[in-house]
């Protein structure tokens, strides 16, 4: 890769992919930015001309804005905490030699293959339905009043559904990381007098640092934009309106493309702030 010739050849070879990706990203991004400076109401007159920063100011000063940011961050944080903690524990469990290991591993990973819409529907109708749901039956079996999950504990329910979907991903990544731990290190620490808990804290957890970082970063990217789970269950009611959902409502329900686009730009900024924080906190694990 050192000669002038091979370097320019490499550039030409990569160009199609780079151009395609850039186009894929840049065209929607430019259009979003463009629309955000316009009053654009498709069903009420169409393109009504440039309005400067009006859309930004309206979106920002709307009473729905800050709660939606908060909801987004709570869902992301909650799901991250649950998937990382239980992911580590499940990975430890699955790493133990046991009968039927292959089947158990496939079953554990299965939720990841279920589409978000489908899984949210299954949760909503089969588990969380206050009349016919499995949880309602369970509650009644113990003589308790069934909970109407999605209205009384809406945030917890959504976090539960999304965590269920993402736990397999975290478990899978962490399991492969645990399997790559040199068994002599564990034996050495055992000789050094480390208890099982100390071995976990001083040997296994630091070894998992990088894998946890990857899990957190990848999941954050996807969790900031969760939509289907909310659309199918609460439709943004009961304090579950995320920023993504707010934008959807502005664009499709209020038919205000300009206002929604301004929200989209805010979402980009929020994602960057979160990413910067995460890189600051966990990014150092990616070094060395």
Range in contact with another protein (rule: CB under 8 A) among 11-19, 107-115, 143-151, 192-200? 192-200
For another protein, the binding residue among 22, 110, 126, 188 (CB under 8 A) is 188
192 forms part of the interface with another protein (CB under 8 A): yes
When the beta carbons of 136 and 203 are compared against another protein, the nearer one is: 203
179 forms part of the interface with another protein (CB under 8 A): no
Binding positions for another protein, 198-227, rule CB under 8 A: 198, 202-203, 206-207, 209
Q: Residue 155: helix, strand or coil by DSSP?
A: helix
For residue 112, give Cα distances in angstroms to 162, 172, 285.
10, 10, 26
Taken in order 243, 163, 271, 278, is the CA torsion positive or negative? positive
62 forms part of the interface with another protein (CB under 8 A): no
SS3 content of the chain, % helix, strand, coil (to 5): 75, 5, 20
- Least separation, in Å, of the C-beta of 114 and another protein? 36
Taken in order 55, 57, 60, 63, is the CA torsion positive or negative? negative
The two structure tokens encoding residue 247: 């934008």
184 forms part of the interface with another protein (CB under 8 A): yes
When the beta carbons of 104 and 198 are compared against another protein, the nearer one is: 198
Range in contact with another protein (rule: CB under 8 A) among 15-23, 85-93, 181-189, 244-252? 181-189
- Least separation, in Å, of the C-beta of 220 and another protein? 24
Residue written as token pair 């493309």: 257
For another protein, the binding residue among 11, 187, 253, 272 (CB under 8 A) is 187
Q: How far apart are CA 153 and CA 170, in angstroms?
A: 25
Is 51 exposed, middle or buried (CB count within 10 Å of its CB: 0-12, 13-18, 19+)?
middle
- Least separation, in Å, of the C-beta of 96 and another protein? 17
Range in contact with another protein (rule: CB under 8 A) among 107-115, 131-139, 162-170, 190-198? 190-198
Q: How far apart are CA 134 and CA 151, in angstroms?
A: 17
When the beta carbons of 63 and 183 are compared against another protein, the nearer one is: 183
193 forms part of the interface with another protein (CB under 8 A): yes
- Least separation, in Å, of the C-beta of 286 and another protein? 14
Q: How far apart are CA 135 and CA 113, in angstroms?
A: 23
- Least separation, in Å, of the C-beta of 186 and another protein? 9
Q: How far apart are CA 230 and CA 79, in angstroms?
A: 14
Provide Rg for the chain, Cα atoms.
24
When the beta carbons of 138 and 198 are compared against another protein, the nearer one is: 198
When the beta carbons of 152 and 182 are compared against another protein, the nearer one is: 182
When the beta carbons of 23 and 206 are compared against another protein, the nearer one is: 206
Q: How far apart are CA 84 and CA 5, in angstroms?
A: 47
Which ranges constitute the DSSP H helices of 133-254?
A: 134-141, 149-152, 154-179, 183-191, 196-199, 205-223, 228-232, 243-248
Interface positions with another protein (CB under 8 A): 182, 184-185, 187-195, 198, 202-203, 206-207, 209, 288
């Amino acid at each position: 890769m050192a000669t002038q010739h091979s370097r320019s050849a490499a550039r030409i070879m990569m160009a199609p992919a780079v151009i395609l990706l850039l186009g894929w990203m840049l065209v929607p991004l430019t259009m979003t930015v463009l629309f955000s400076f316009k009053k654009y109401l498709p069903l009420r007159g169409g393109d009504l001309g440039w309005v400067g920063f009006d859309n930004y100011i309206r979106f920002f000063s709307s009473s729905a804005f800050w709660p939606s940011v908060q909801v987004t961050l709570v869902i992301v944080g909650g799901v991250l905490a649950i998937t990382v903690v239980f992911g580590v524990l499940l990975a430890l469990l699955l790493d133990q030699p046991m009968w039927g290991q292959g089947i158990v591993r496939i079953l554990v990973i299965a939720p990841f293959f279920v589409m978000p819409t489908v899984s949210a529907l299954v949760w909503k109708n089969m588990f969380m339905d206050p009349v016919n749901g499995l949880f309602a039956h369970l509650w009644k079996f113990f003589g308790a009043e069934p909970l109407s999950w999605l209205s009384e504990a809406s945030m917890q329910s959504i976090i539960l559904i999304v965590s269920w979907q993402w736990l397999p991903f975290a478990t899978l990544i962490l399991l492969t990381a645990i399997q790559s731990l040199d068994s002599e290190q564990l034996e050495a620490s055992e000789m050094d007098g480390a208890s099982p808990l100390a071995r976990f804290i001083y040997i296994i957890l630091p070894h998992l640092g990088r894998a946890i970082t990857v899990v957190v970063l990848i999941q954050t990217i996807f969790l900031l934009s969760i939509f289907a789970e909310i659309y199918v269950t609460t439709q943004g009611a009961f304090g579950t309106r995320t920023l993504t959902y707010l934008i959807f409502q502005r664009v499709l329900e209020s038919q205000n493309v300009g206002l929604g686009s301004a929200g989209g730009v805010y979402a980009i900024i929020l994602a960057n702030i979160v990413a910067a924080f995460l890189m600051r906190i966990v990014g150092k694990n990616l070094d060395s």
